[in-house]
Amino acid sequence: MTILTAKVGNNSDLFPDILDVYANKYDVIIDVTYGKGVFWRNVDISKYTFHPSDILTGVDYNHLPYKNDSVDIMVFDPPYMGHNGGKGYAVARNYNVDVPKYHKDYIPRLYFGAMAESTRVLRKGGHLIIKCQDEIQSGKQNMNHITIIQHAIESGWRVEDLFILVQKGTPIMRHPYQKHARKNHSYFVVLRKM
């Protein structure tokens, strides 16, 4: 079966395709924002040395308990929707973190620190798989996948791939009016440590 860059479905539909391309049998894979394990529902994890964790299990993705150059793949999907910010925000409660309210704060805070830590734990040639989504905040388009990719390139990563996950159905609208197209897709950026 040919693996394509875009798929309609959910995380557990697309994620196995990414692993089919980038993971090898017995790879050490860490998912540092594991949550409920949705990515892994259609994956045979027995093929890998798999370490799931998240902030609720006491593992902060900015300070991982792994040795330098010891991991083949790191998976990262933080609570990337900043809307109202603070610990009272629903996504923040799930992760027990203080999600910054404004775009200018939460992309660097949630992504860049984890990217630096992944540079430490990944082996040379290892892969970082990041899930992200673009958004509109205060009427302004924020192309988060571009910001993350630009930061990765500036930090010495090589961009290997970009997968697009298209949501089934119509996204929920917060307002009865619409000034921009509603985002119904997210991205999986695959980076390689050089």
Residue 146 in domain: yes
Residue 1 in domain: no
Please report the beta strands in 133-178, taking only residues with DSSP state E, as ranges in sequence order.
135-137, 140-142, 158-167
Q: What is the pTM of this model?
A: 0.87
- Return the pLDDT at 89: 46
Q: Which domain covers residue 15, as residue numbers? A: 6-192
The total number of residues written for the chain in this structure? 194
- Return the pLDDT at 82: 46
Residue 171 in domain: yes
The Cβ of residue 58 has, within 10 Å, a number of other Cβ atoms equal to 8
For 8, which DSSP code? E
The CATH number given to whatever domain includes residue 175 is 3.40.50.150
- Return the pLDDT at 85: 47
- Return the pLDDT at 98: 55
Residues of the chain with pLDDT under 70: 79-105
Residue 62 in domain: yes
Residue 88 in domain: yes
Residue 92 in domain: yes
- Return the pLDDT at 157: 97
CB 18, CB 39: distance < 8 Å: no
Q: Give the total number of structural domains in the chain.
A: 1
- Return the pLDDT at 105: 66
Residue 185 in domain: yes
